[in-house]
């Protein structure tokens, strides 16, 4: 299936995002996407031998090459674990090459206006059209804009262009860094991009005085300050967790600066730290993916990505490293910067295997932190406690609820595996719909009253909407045990919305409202039981599916997921769920006692610590920075141990060392 | 005289008048504003250059500062009238009066100061209010230290230096007004509040009198140099009050602006207050200010609207400049 691709250049976040505007033609061979959908009820790879898979993969790769078709509209990659390191590396580099070639192909030498920063970066990475790139750089440096999102590409151009750009182009870049004063920004991703760029540019132009720099600081001062911040950020992240953790569309903003540092920093310690942090970010990502999709709780996602889970930039990195999903439509935008120096990085095999092995269910725990809190909190960075449960068929992930991040927090969901995730809403979750001036005051420094409406003009249109499906709530408490989630809410009168919104996908294979009060659904190979705690009504959703609207302040959701293969039949699943011991009370505060499918008795009461089999859960005591089968790290340690099977890698940020081990 | 000639004549006359007036004014007017609209986000493409604007004649404005959408306040180096210090998202920026010779004086440890002030009795000392405390420099911004020990919830949006005594500073924080009398070494809470204190001003006529405004705790008055405070009757308490000002030409006149509160003025030393919002495009006022050089002239900055001016202390208004502005501060800095 081929689509005409239209590139949108407006806005900073999607420079180069792609819009499917017209379907041109379909051929049986190309339409693997359609074929994949036809097999949704079974494991599409079950019973296929590795050699057959390899042959199919080679064949499909040929189709992609033959038609020069970008991978995002091509066939779904066949998920398989590539044992051979050389083959794995070759595949990775081939995908890198595709990104670069595709992006560079958007620049037409006959029309220099088509050479924007991203196209120039791609061209320079491919060592093509240096003269046109130089001329165009001179033009583009006359009107710099977009702050740290400008610094970042221009740093890339400067390094890639060291032996390609003309002296005049280099001078234009140098002059722009003197005259254009980019904002440092107010988020973690802004700062790491800003300071990584500044660090590398100060390295590129050493020994210059303050009058040569936009901020009036000398090269030495900029170099030292940026190094100081970068080390601070690394230390904070590896001791108490990342603030903008596990974002579906910001992973590039962290991984790309780290790659730049690992590739271009002259200081070997900074190079090593960049490489280690890249391992860190990728391991953190790999362990919470299902077929390349970032699952569970996110500090930030967006209105589209929260439904179509695959369609975030994070999936581009899954495609690049694990080749287990199609790249998202905008894979040629930010990830393309990664591609420019991707050859400098080799994903450790231990992380690769974590990202691709879903042969057995596992529970993974993480501690993160909130973004900086400025008002209405005595904690600058409150802890975030995450739990994720992953199987080959589905994944469940959550945080503890509350206002952990402003605006774009996503607290829990179930994601089920699908053969082709494109256009599919393979998720179910609920939110206590909430917005408030207090939420924004906590995380932003501005005057309070104008902020809620302003947010809706800044790419977060649903923030103040009653039907919102994104965002945290101070009145929601969540606990997850294995593949069970219990969310309780107790909304005081007068709060913005006294209701729970549940998302029910258009892509559910089954949906039955049971007289018992459970709602039974099937998504892919997952059976899911969803129990609203208060009366509800259904509302249609513009993007398909429907919203469970439960307009009651004392409320909540119980969700139990399982694999279809665990049951004799759909009816068997329903019977077993109905038989599970369950006690619900909503007054004076919501309380649930539920014995899960896994035989654990979970007791949750709003405002109290949860209990499992009679033992009180103490998040502060029990949650490490990472703990589980694959990743382990103590809070405050600065050491991450990554394990898969016999493979082990230890990242020690105290000694700046990487230690690999293979068990005999 | 045809229309074209009349237009040219009028423009020349206006310019001449403005030039004449400009020469008369003792202060330049600075406006710190986002004029790019609320859809402008950090990292986005800037269509219009926001930032620091200056007017010498109260008619025309020139863009001075970096084109930042978060540029909060400005003050002047007491040693050198040609040097400005700006509080902006990136920290503290020093620049010449023509916008040149910029230098960021803070590093990553200090961000988003919303207020900046020199101590007139210790002119090497520069204070900034940060979202996580207070920064003090004893060498005009060359180096900094944190100075908010003892302040709980140290979000600091207001700092007023008592012009009668070196090292005496009032800070408006999240949970009240704090006073230091030793250059920020120690602070004591002099007026608790439940919400943020957004502005504190010292009366130009009575050095011991201070006016403060808060978010949902109304306005407060002190007659004893900030040691004790009393709530001012007649000022709304359900609105966020953004700032306040005194009319330097009349000791009895003062004004307050806020979100939903419109413009409130008093002409009897704060005993009674009148709503002077009629004629403004909205009651959501980001900033008000009294002109130190023109008696009865005040300014109001409605949210996402032109900056407005009144020459009769708020009885009538007219738009002055900008189209859709979010004004963070209006500052009058004395010329040499």
Q: What would the mean pLDDT of A263-273 be, rounded to a whole number?
A: 98
Lowest mean pLDDT among A59-63, A362-366, B256-260, B282-286: A59-63
* ipTM of this predicted structure: 0.93
* pLDDT tens sequence across B214-237: 998 999 999 999 999 999 999 999
Sign of the CA dihedral with A248 first, then A457, A553, and A617 last: positive
Query: Is the confidence at residue A53, as pLDDT, over 60?
Result: no
Query: Is the confidence at residue A16, as pLDDT, over 50?
Result: no
Query: Is the confidence at residue A67, as pLDDT, over 80?
Result: no
Q: To 5 degrees, how large is the angle CA B93–CA B97–CA B100?
A: 65
Q: What would the mean pLDDT of A200-205 be, rounded to a whole number?
A: 98
Let me know if B18 is exposed, middle or buried by CB neighbors in 10 A (0-12, 13-18, 19+): middle
Which residues does chain B have within 8 Å of residue A374's beta carbon, measured at their own beta carbons? Answer: 131-132, 155
What was the pLDDT predicted at A334?
Answer: 85
- Cβ-defined contact of A186 to B111 (cutoff 8 Å): yes
What was the pLDDT predicted at B16?
Answer: 52
Residue A459: other Cβ atoms inside 10 A: 17
What was the pLDDT predicted at B18?
Answer: 56
CB pairs under 8 A between A and B: 111
Question: For residues A224 and B227, what is the distance between their CA atoms, to the nearest angstrom?
Answer: 43
What was the pLDDT predicted at B47?
Answer: 73
Question: For residues B262 and B310, what is the distance between their CA atoms, to the nearest angstrom?
Answer: 14
Let me know if A413 is exposed, middle or buried by CB neighbors in 10 A (0-12, 13-18, 19+): buried
Question: For residues A400 and A618, what is the distance between their CA atoms, to the nearest angstrom?
Answer: 12
Tokens of A110: 């006959």
Tokens of B309: 């001016």
Interface of B with A in 7-46 (CB under 8 A): 37-39, 41-46
Burial A374-385 (b: 16+ CB within 10 A, else e): bbbbeeebbbbb
A336 in Cβ contact with A100 (< 8 Å): yes
CA-nearest of A41, A254, A301 to A152 is A254
Query: Is the confidence at residue B21, as pLDDT, over 70?
Result: no
Query: Is the confidence at residue B180, as pLDDT, over 50?
Result: yes
Domain ranges within chain B, ordered by starting residue: 28-334
Q: What would the mean pLDDT of A426-445 be, rounded to a whole number?
A: 97
Q: What would the mean pLDDT of A344-348 be, rounded to a whole number?
A: 97
B204 in Cβ contact with B251 (< 8 Å): yes
- Cβ-defined contact of A228 to B108 (cutoff 8 Å): yes
Q: What is the mean pLDDT of chain B?
A: 93
Q: What is the mean pLDDT of chain A?
A: 90
pLDDT band at A19 (very low <50, low <70, confident <90, very high): very low
Interface test with B, best of A210, A216, A375 (most B CBs within 10 A): A375
CA distance B186 to chain A (A): 20
Interface of B with A in 206-225 (CB under 8 A): 215
- Cβ-defined contact of B69 to A149 (cutoff 8 Å): no
Considering chain B, what percentage of its residues have pLDDT values greater than 70?
Answer: 93
What was the pLDDT predicted at A187?
Answer: 95
- Cβ-defined contact of A12 to B107 (cutoff 8 Å): no
Which residues does chain A have within 8 Å of residue B283's beta carbon, measured at their own beta carbons? Answer: none
Residue B5's φ and ψ, nearest 5 degrees, are -65, -40
| Beta carbons within 8 Å of B123's beta carbon, 6+ residues apart | B78, B79, B140
Which residues does chain A have within 8 Å of residue B153's beta carbon, measured at their own beta carbons? Answer: 375, 378
What was the pLDDT predicted at A616?
Answer: 98
What was the pLDDT predicted at B2?
Answer: 53
* pLDDT tens sequence across A221-258: 999 999 999 999 999 999 999 999 999 999 999 999 99
CA-nearest of A159, A105, A167 to A135 is A167
Q: What would the mean pLDDT of A99-125 be, rounded to a whole number?
A: 96
Q: What would the mean pLDDT of A415-442 be, rounded to a whole number?
A: 97
* pLDDT tens sequence across B41-60: 778 777 788 999 999 999 99
- Cβ-defined contact of B41 to A186 (cutoff 8 Å): no
Closest Cβ–Cβ partner in A147, A225, A454 for B43:
A147
Query: Is the confidence at residue A29, as pLDDT, over 60?
Result: no
Following DSSP, what letter does each residue of A608-633 receive, concatenated?
S--EETTEEP-HHHH--SEEESSEEB
Closest residue of B to A223, CA-based? B107
* pLDDT tens sequence across A148-194: 999 999 999 999 999 999 999 999 999 999 999 999 999 999 999 99
What was the pLDDT predicted at A62?
Answer: 36
What was the pLDDT predicted at B41?
Answer: 78
- Cβ-defined contact of B45 to A147 (cutoff 8 Å): no
Helix (H) or strand (E) holding A628: strand A626-628
- Cβ-defined contact of A184 to B260 (cutoff 8 Å): no
What was the pLDDT predicted at A224?
Answer: 98
What was the pLDDT predicted at B114?
Answer: 98
Among chain A, residues having any CB pair with chain B shorter than 8 Å are 10-13, 145-149, 181, 183-187, 190-191, 195, 210-211, 214-217, 225, 228-229, 232, 372, 374-376, 378, 380, 445, 447-450, 453-454, 457-459
* pLDDT tens sequence across B281-320: 999 999 999 999 999 999 999 999 999 999 999 999 999 9
- Cβ-defined contact of A448 to B259 (cutoff 8 Å): yes
* pLDDT tens sequence across A467-513: 999 999 999 999 999 999 999 999 999 999 999 999 999 999 999 99
CA distance B312 to chain A (A): 28
Chain centroid offset of residue A543 CA: 21
Place of tokens 């296929």: A48
DSSP E strands, B67-155: 71-77, 80-88, 91-96, 103-104, 115-119, 122-130, 133-137, 145-146
Q: What kind of fold does domain B28-334 have according to CATH?
A: Methylamine Dehydrogenase; Chain H (2.130.10)
Lowest mean pLDDT among A102-106, A198-202, A561-565: A102-106
- Cβ-defined contact of A215 to B132 (cutoff 8 Å): no
Question: For residues B192 and B212, what is the distance between their CA atoms, to the nearest angstrom?
Answer: 12
Question: For residues B275 and B258, what is the distance between their CA atoms, to the nearest angstrom?
Answer: 12
B153 inside 8 A of chain A by CB: yes
What was the pLDDT predicted at B36?
Answer: 86
- Cβ-defined contact of B39 to A458 (cutoff 8 Å): yes
Residue A306: other Cβ atoms inside 10 A: 24
- Cβ-defined contact of B174 to A376 (cutoff 8 Å): yes
A339 or A57, higher pLDDT? A339
Residue B96: other Cβ atoms inside 10 A: 13
Tokens of A302: 């967006």
Helix A268-286 to helix A251-264 angle (10° resolution) is 150
A299 in Cβ contact with A405 (< 8 Å): yes
Which residues does chain A have within 8 Å of residue B45's beta carbon, measured at their own beta carbons? Answer: 10-12, 145-146
Of the CA atoms within 13 Å of residue B119, those in its CB half-sphere come to: 25
CA distance A115 to chain B (A): 17
Closest Cβ–Cβ partner in B44, B46, B240 for A448:
B240
CA distance B2 to chain A (A): 41
Query: Is the confidence at residue A24, as pLDDT, over 70?
Result: no
What was the pLDDT predicted at B230?
Answer: 97
Query: Is the confidence at residue A49, as pLDDT, over 50?
Result: no
pLDDT band at B5 (very low <50, low <70, confident <90, very high): low
- Cβ-defined contact of A12 to B70 (cutoff 8 Å): no
- Cβ-defined contact of B38 to A453 (cutoff 8 Å): yes
Interface test with A, best of B40, B42, B193 (most A CBs within 10 A): B42
B115 or A23, higher pLDDT? B115
CA distance A147 to chain B (A): 5
Considering chain B, what percentage of its residues have pLDDT values greater than 90?
Answer: 86
Q: What would the mean pLDDT of B150-172 be, rounded to a whole number?
A: 97
B173 inside 8 A of chain A by CB: no
Helix (H) or strand (E) holding A338: helix A334-340
What was the pLDDT predicted at A15?
Answer: 29
- Cβ-defined contact of B45 to A453 (cutoff 8 Å): no
pLDDT band at B17 (very low <50, low <70, confident <90, very high): low
Residue A581's φ and ψ, nearest 5 degrees, are -60, 130
């Amino acid at each position: 299936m081929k689509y005409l691709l239209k590139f949108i250049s407006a806005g900073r976040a999607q420079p180069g995002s792609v819009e499917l505007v017209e379907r041109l033609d379909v051929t049986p061979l190309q339409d693997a996407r359609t074929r994949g959908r036809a097999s949704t009820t079974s494991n599409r790879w079950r019973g296929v031998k590795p050699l057959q898979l390899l042959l199919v993969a080679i064949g499909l790769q040929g189709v992609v090459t033959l038609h020069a078709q970008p991978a995002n509209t091509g066939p779904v990659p066949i998920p398989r674990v590539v044992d051979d390191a050389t083959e794995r590396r070759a595949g990775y580099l081939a995908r890198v090459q595709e990104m670069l070639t595709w992006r560079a192909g958007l620049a037409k030498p006959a029309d220099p206006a088509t050479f924007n920063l991203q196209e120039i970066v791609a061209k320079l990475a491919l060592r093509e059209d240096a003269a046109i790139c130089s001329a165009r750089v001179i033009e583009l440096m006359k009107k710099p804009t977009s702050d740290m999102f400008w610094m970042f590409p221009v740093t890339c151009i400067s390094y890639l262009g060291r032996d390609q750009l003309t002296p005049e182009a280099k001078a234009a870049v140098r002059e722009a860094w003197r005259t254009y004063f980019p904002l440092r920004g107010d988020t973690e991703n802004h700062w790491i991009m800003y300071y990584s760029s500044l660090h590398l540019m100060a390295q590129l132009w050493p020994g210059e005085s303050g009058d040569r720099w936009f901020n009036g600081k000398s090269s030495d001062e900029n170099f030292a300050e940026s190094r100081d911040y970068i080390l601070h950020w690394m230390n904070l992240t590896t001791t108490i967790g990342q603030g903008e953790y596990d974002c579906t569309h910001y992973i590039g903003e962290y991984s790309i600066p780290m790659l730049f540092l690992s590739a271009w920093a002259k200081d070997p310690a900074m190079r090593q730290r960049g490489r280690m942090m890249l391992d860190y970010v990728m391991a953190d990502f790999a362990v919470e993916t299902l077929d390349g999709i970032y699952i569970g709780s996110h500090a930030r996602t967006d209105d589209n990505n929260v439904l179509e889970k695959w369609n975030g930039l994070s999936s581009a990195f899954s495609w690049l490293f694990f080749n287990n999903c199609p790249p998202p439509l905008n894979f040629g935008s930010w990830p393309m910067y990664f591609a420019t120096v991707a050859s400098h990085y080799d994903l450790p095999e231990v992380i690769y295997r974590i990202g691709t092995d879903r042969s057995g269910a596992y529970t993974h725990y993480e501690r993160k932190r909130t973004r900086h809190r400025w008002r209405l909190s005595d904690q600058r960075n409150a802890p975030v406690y995450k739990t994720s449960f992953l199987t080959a068929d589905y994944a469940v992930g959550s945080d503890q609820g509350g206002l952990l991040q402003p605006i774009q927090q996503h607290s829990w969901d179930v994601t089920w595996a699908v053969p082709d995730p494109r256009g599919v809403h393979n998720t179910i979750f609920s939110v206590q719909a909430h917005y408030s001036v207090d939420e924004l005051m906590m995380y932003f420094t501005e005057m309070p009253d104008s902020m809620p409406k302003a947010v809706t003009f800044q790419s977060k249109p649903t923030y103040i909407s009653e039907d919102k499906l994104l965002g945290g709530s101070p009145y929601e408490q969540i606990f997850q045990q294995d593949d069970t989630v219990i969310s309780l809410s107790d909304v005081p009168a007068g709060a913005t919305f006294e209701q729970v919104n549940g998302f029910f996908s258009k892509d559910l294979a089954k949906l039955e409202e049971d007289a018992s009060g459970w709602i039974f659904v099937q998504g892919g190979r997952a059976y899911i039981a969803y129990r609203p705690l208060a009366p509800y009504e259904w509302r249609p959703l513009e993007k398909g599916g429907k919203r469970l609207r439960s307009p009651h302040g004392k409320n909540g959701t119980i969700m139990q997921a399982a694999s279809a293969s665990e049951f004799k039949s759909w009816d068997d699943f329903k019977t077993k769920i109905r038989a599970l011991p369950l006690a619900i009370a909503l007054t004076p505060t919501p309380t649930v006692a539920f014995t899960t499918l896994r035989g654990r008795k979970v007791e949750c009461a709003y405002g109290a610590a949860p209990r499992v089999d009679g033992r009180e859960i103490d998040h502060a005591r029990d949650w490490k920075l990472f703990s589980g089968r694959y990743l382990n790290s103590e809070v405050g340690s600065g050491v991450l141990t990554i394990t898969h099977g016999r493979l082990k890698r230890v990242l020690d940020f105290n000694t700046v060392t990487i230690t690999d081990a293979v068990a005999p | 005289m045809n229309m074209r000639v009349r237009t040219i004549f009028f423009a020349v006359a206006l310019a001449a008048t403005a030039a004449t007036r400009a020469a008369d004014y003792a202060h330049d007017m600075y406006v710190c504003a986002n004029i790019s609209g609320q859809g402008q986000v950090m990292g986005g493409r800037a269509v219009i250059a926001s930032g620091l604007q200056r007017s010498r004649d109260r008619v025309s404005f020139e863009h001075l500062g970096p084109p930042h959408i978060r540029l909060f306040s400005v003050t002047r180096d007491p040693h050198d009238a040609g040097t400005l210090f700006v509080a902006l998202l990136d920290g503290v920026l020093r620049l010449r009066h023509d916008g040149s010779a910029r230098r960021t004086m803070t590093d990553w440890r200090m961000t988003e100061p919303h207020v900046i002030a020199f101590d007139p009795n210790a002119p090497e000392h520069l204070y900034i209010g940060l979202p996580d405390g207070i920064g003090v420099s004893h060498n005009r911004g060359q180096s900094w230290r944190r100075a908010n020990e003892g302040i709980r919830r140290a979000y600091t949006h207001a700092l007023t230096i008592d012009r009668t005594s070196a090292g005496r500073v009032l800070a408006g924080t999240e949970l009240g007004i704090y006073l230091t009398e030793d250059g920020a070494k120690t602070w004591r809470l002099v007026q608790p509040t439940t919400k943020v204190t957004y502005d504190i001003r010292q009366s130009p006529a009575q050095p011991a009198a201070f006016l403060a405004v808060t978010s949902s705790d109304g306005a407060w008055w002190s007659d004893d140099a900030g040691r004790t405070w009393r709530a001012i009757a007649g000022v709304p308490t359900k609105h966020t009050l953004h700032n306040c000002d005194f009319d330097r030409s009349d000791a009895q006149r003062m004004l307050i602006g806020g979100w939903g509160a419109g413009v409130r003025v008093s002409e009897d030393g704060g005993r009674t207050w009148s709503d002077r919002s009629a004629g403004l495009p909205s009651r959501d006022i980001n900033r008000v200010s009294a002109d130190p050089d023109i008696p009865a002239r005040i300014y109001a900055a409605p949210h996402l609207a032109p900056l407005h001016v009144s020459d009769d202390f708020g009885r009538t208004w007219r738009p002055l400049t900008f189209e859709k502005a979010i004004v963070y501060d209006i500052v009058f800095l004395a010329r040499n």
